[in-house]
């Protein structure tokens, strides 16, 4: 009987040990699944899946980047010279246009002659670039060259300035506007939240009476507890029209609106962490300063704030972390235009908002889906760096206390 | 000398005003939503489904859905979180392993909720094949709530005086018996407080359920854990941003926001009330 109980206890303790690792396991799983889905992007062709680009065999061009392809089909690039080819005008040719050149009858009963007709069209036009489905590609025909289907590269992804995931023939997965948009909105948010939060932290740790403090503490907890979608809704119905009116803008959904909402949302984090740091200033230091004839205010900004410096920096870092990862509120108030941000008073789009807005429409496993997961990886890495930095800063803090 | 004093006076007044600004922000947001939402909420609003393309009716299915997700996610997070906390406080001592686990728990807590959404979609919806469902959403939200459950449970366990443990062990109880019969019962009220806090957190989250559980509109209530559900935060998001007739849906959005706030902040207030109540009790012991 005793033996059975002992075995049972061992068993339960084993389960407890395993469950102790649950958070580590979860993080590992998150990493594995994010990267597994995301890294597939760099194996995807830069041309839409299931299609090829064909040029005339006389054309010396072998590679085109996804940006090149988009410019060609948007008629922005018009001469092969720009891509290292001959001085020849580019003739973009979409698959459907074949039906303008040949009557239906010449395609064969089940379109089995379609590749032949496409081949003829390509061979007869020196400057052509044709966007055709793989199954109809006139491969191996005289006068036709199938362009090498390059893969999407990390430099396309991180350096590209255009995010147009549904563009044909070449979807654009340049994340630069999203990354810059995220940084802009979060940075301005911290710029707003920091003086406000620091001031409140000083007030709470140094000036407020006990009664005032016991009123402010729960207030800040409540502020932290409001769901982000409610912040977004409030921003949408109150701040957005207000900003539009005050700054006389065509639309109120701007980076600035996002920054204000994020600033409010980051406030509780900043206040709590900074206040803790200031309260931890040793009494002896305060009293020494006061005894030397410094005023309370001088003591605060010459002694307490420098002493609490690393705690305050941890507050800033954590506040940034909160702002960068915030999804719903930003999604609802920033207007979501995936363009390079030029000013605070234009719509921008952040990384989390992009994921939230587009993942529902991206077919699972496609390049768009993979690109969104890759964005998730970027966001994950950013927040991990932030959280490790905050950890390191507060470690320095606790060492100083000894 | 007088300059010093004036500086101090100015600085302190600025800080007082900043303190008031924060209070004002909270009251502005709450007041605004209560002002516009209070008139919308009535029995019918709470107990009927949306009608006329979301411009009429109530939010009953969204309340039910949020309720399902709360229960589901707590079934996932609560046992796991409590067991994990028992391990770190009662078994693991104070070595490197515990430090590592703590760092990992903190890191998990700092991961943005949209990442949980991505992860939940990849693992539960696609790989495990749950589809958009209560179960997929519950797992996703449960993992999101895990760090909070662990942290509050750890605090609750640490608040149990060591004399309880040594007393029980001295009477010949095994370690596990001590934990089960002595430590957990006396930590129970504080663990419950943590559970309530986690419910508050989970019920307001939108991003994790966007792709794992939430539906725009469902004509009937969920009948199994493999069904999609409507949920309050997602409902607020969609009717605030993508309705065809924003003017007509606004009152419903205010009402939904108010119900959501009442649930979330109600949970927070309940938790802080319990913390104060039970905190005193432990002291008098």
CA distance A178 to A324: 11
Q: What percent of chain B has pLDDT over 90?
A: 64
For B:241-280, CB contacts with A below 8 A are 241, 250, 253, 257, 260-261, 264-265, 268-269, 272
Whether residues B110 and A36 touch (CB distance < 8 A) is answered with no
User: Please, which pLDDT band fits residue A402 given cuts at 50, 70 and 90?
Assistant: very low
Q: In the structure, what pLDDT confidence band is assigned to residue B279 with cuts at 50, 70 and 90?
A: low
Residue A24 neighbours by CB under 8 Å, 6+ apart: B100, B101, B104
Least trusted range by pLDDT, from A284-293, A334-343, B254-263: A334-343
Q: Does the structure show a pLDDT above 50 at A81?
A: yes
CB contact under 8 A, A332 and B237: yes
B193 interaction partners in chain A (CB closer than 8 Å): none
- Residues of chain A in contact with residue B12, where contact means CB-CB under 8 angstroms, are 207, 296-297
Tabulate helix, strand, coil % of chain A (nearest 5). 65, 5, 30
Q: How confident is the model at residue B2 (pLDDT cuts 50, 70, 90)?
A: low
Using an 8 Å Cβ cutoff, are A364 and A385 in contact?
no
Judge: A297–B8 Cβ closer than 8 Å, yes or no. yes
The lowest-confidence range among A85-94, A199-208, B168-177 is: A85-94
B131: chain A residues, CB-CB within 8 Å? none
Q: Would the CB atoms of A16 and B91 count as touching at under 8 Å?
A: yes
Residues 6+ apart with CB under 8 A from A141: A115, A116, A119, A123
Q: How far is CA B140 from the centre of its chain?
A: 13
Distance (Å, rounded) from C-alpha A126 to C-alpha A89?
A: 9
- The rounded distance, in Å, linking the Cα atoms of A371 and A145 is 29
Q: Tens digit of pLDDT for each residue in A295-336? A: 899 999 899 999 998 889 999 999 999 899 999 999 999 988
Question: How many Å apart are CA B11 and CA B3, to the nearest integer?
Answer: 12
Which of the listed ranges A57-71, A210-224, A359-373, B68-82 does the model predict with the highest average pLDDT? B68-82
The DSSP bridge pattern shows strands A128-133 and A144-146 to be unpaired
The per-residue pLDDT for A386 is 92
Question: Is the pLDDT reported for residue B55 higher than 80?
Answer: no
Mean pLDDT lowest among A124-133, A268-277, B265-274: A124-133
Helix or strand holding residue A398 (H, E) = helix A367-400
CB-closest option in A298, A318, A352 to B4: A298
Q: Are B252 and B240 in contact (CB under 8 A)?
A: no
Rounded CA-CA distance B134/B80 in Å is 19
B37 contacts B105 by C-beta, under 8 angstroms: no
CA distance A314 to B134: 37
Strands in A91-94's sheet, in edge-to-edge order, are A91-94, A128-133, A51-56, A144-146
Could you give phi then psi for residue A170, rounded to 5 degrees?
A: -120, 105
Min mean pLDDT across A212-226, A274-288, A385-399, B10-24 is at A385-399
Q: Shortest CA distance to A220 belongs to which of A183, A188, A191, A193?
A: A193
Instruction: Using the predicted structure, report yes or no on whether residue A401 has a pLDDT greater than 70.
Output: no
pLDDT at A136: 81
Give per-residue pLDDT as tens, A211-250.
989 899 889 989 999 999 999 999 999 999 999 999 999 8
Residue B204 pLDDT: 93
Whether the per-residue pLDDT at B96 is higher than 90: the answer is no
pTM attached to this predicted model: 0.90
Nearest to B260 among A215, A230, A264 (CB): A230
User: What is the secondary structure of B185-209 as a DSSP string?
Assistant: HHHHHHHHHHHHHHHHHHHH--GGG
| Both structure tokens of A397 | 């803090």
Is the alpha carbon torsion for B217, B223, B229, B230 positive or negative? positive
CA A388 to chain centre: 19
Please report the sign of the dihedral spanned by the C-alpha atoms of residue A156, residue A159, residue A163, residue A164: negative
Enter the ipTM. Answer: 0.92
Q: Do B260 and A295 touch (CB under 8 A)?
A: no
Beta strands in A200-309 (DSSP E): none
Backbone angles phi, psi at A148, to 5 degrees: -60, 130
């Amino acid at each position: 009987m005793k033996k059975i109980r002992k075995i049972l206890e061992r068993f339960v303790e084993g389960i407890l040990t395993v469950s102790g690792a649950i958070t580590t396991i979860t993080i590992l799983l998150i990493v594995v699944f994010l990267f597994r889905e995301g890294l597939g992007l760099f194996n995807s062709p830069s041309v839409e899946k299931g299609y090829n680009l064909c040029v005339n065999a006389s054309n010396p061009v072998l590679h085109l980047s996804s940006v090149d392809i988009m410019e060609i089909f948007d008629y922005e690039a018009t001469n092969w010279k720009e891509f290292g080819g001959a001085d020849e005008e580019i003739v973009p040719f979409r698959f459907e246009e074949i039906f303008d050149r040949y009557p239906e009858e010449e395609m064969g009963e089940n379109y089995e002659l379609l590749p032949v007709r496409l081949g003829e069209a390509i061979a007869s036009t020196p400057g052509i670039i044709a966007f055709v489905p793989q199954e109809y590609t006139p491969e191996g025909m005289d006068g036709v060259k199938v362009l090498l289907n390059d893969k999407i590269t990390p430099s396309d992804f991180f350096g590209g300035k255009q995010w147009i995931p549904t563009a044909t023939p070449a979807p654009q997965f340049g994340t630069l506007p999203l990354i810059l948009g995220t940084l802009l909105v979060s940075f301005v948010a911290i710029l707003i939240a920091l003086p406000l939060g620091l001031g409140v932290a000083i007030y709470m740790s140094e000036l407020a009476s006990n009664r005032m403090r016991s009123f402010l503490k729960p207030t800040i907890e409540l502020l932290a507890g409001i769901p982000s979608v409610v912040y977004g809704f409030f921003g949408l119905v109150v701040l957005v029209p207000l900003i539009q009116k005050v700054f006389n803008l065509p639309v109120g959904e701007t980076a600035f609106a996002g920054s204000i909402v994020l600033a409010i949302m980051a406030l509780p984090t900043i206040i709590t962490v900074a206040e803790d740091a200031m309260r931890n200033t040793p009494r002896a230091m305060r009293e020494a300063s006061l005894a030397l004839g410094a005023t309370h205010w001088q003591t605060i900004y010459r002694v307490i704030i420098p002493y609490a410096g690393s705690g305050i920096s941890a507050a800033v870092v954590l506040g940034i972390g909160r702002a960068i990862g915030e999804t719903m509120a930003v999604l609802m108030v920033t207007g979501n235009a995936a363009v390079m941000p030029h000013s605070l008073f234009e719509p921008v789009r952040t990384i989390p908002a992009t994921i939230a807005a587009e993942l529902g429409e991206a077919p699972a496993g496609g390049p768009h889906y993979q690109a969104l997961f890759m964005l998730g990886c970027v966001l994950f890495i950013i927040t991990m760096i932030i959280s490790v930095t905050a950890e390191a800063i507060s470690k320095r803090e606790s060492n100083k206390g000894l | 000398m007088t300059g010093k004093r004036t500086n101090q006076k100015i600085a302190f007044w600025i800080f007082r005003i900043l303190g008031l600004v924060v209070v004002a922000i909270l009251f502005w947001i709450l007041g605004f939503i209560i002002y516009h939402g209070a008139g919308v909420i009535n029995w019918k609003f709470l107990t009927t489904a949306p009608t006329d393309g979301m411009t009429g009716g109530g939010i009953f299915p969204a309340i039910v859905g949020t309720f399902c997700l709360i229960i589901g996610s707590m079934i996932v997070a609560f046992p796991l979180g409590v067991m994990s906390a028992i391990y770190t406080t009662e078994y693991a001592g104070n070595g490197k392993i515990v430090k590592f686990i703590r760092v990992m728990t903190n890191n998990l807590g700092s991961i943005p909720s949209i990442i949980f959404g991505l992860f939940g979609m990849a693992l539960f919806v696609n790989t495990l094949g749950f589809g958009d469902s209560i179960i997929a959403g519950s797992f996703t939200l449960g993992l999101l709530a895990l760090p909070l459950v662990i942290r509050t449970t750890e605090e609750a366990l640490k608040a149990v005086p060591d004399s309880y443990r040594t007393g029980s062990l001295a009477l010949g109880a095994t370690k596990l018996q001590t934990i089960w019969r002595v430590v957990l019962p006396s930590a129970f009220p504080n663990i419950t407080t943590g559970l309530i806090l986690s419910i508050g957190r989970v019920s307001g989250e939108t991003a994790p359920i966007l792709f794992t559980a939430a539906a725009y509109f469902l004509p009937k209530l969920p009948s199994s854990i493999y069904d999609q559900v409507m949920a309050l935060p997602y409902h607020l998001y969609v009717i605030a941003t993508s309705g065809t007739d924003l003017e007509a849906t606004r009152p419903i959005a205010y009402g939904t926001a108010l119900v959501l706030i009442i649930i979330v902040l109600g949970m927070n207030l309940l938790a802080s009330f319990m913390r104060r109540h039970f905190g005193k009790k432990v002291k008098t012991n």
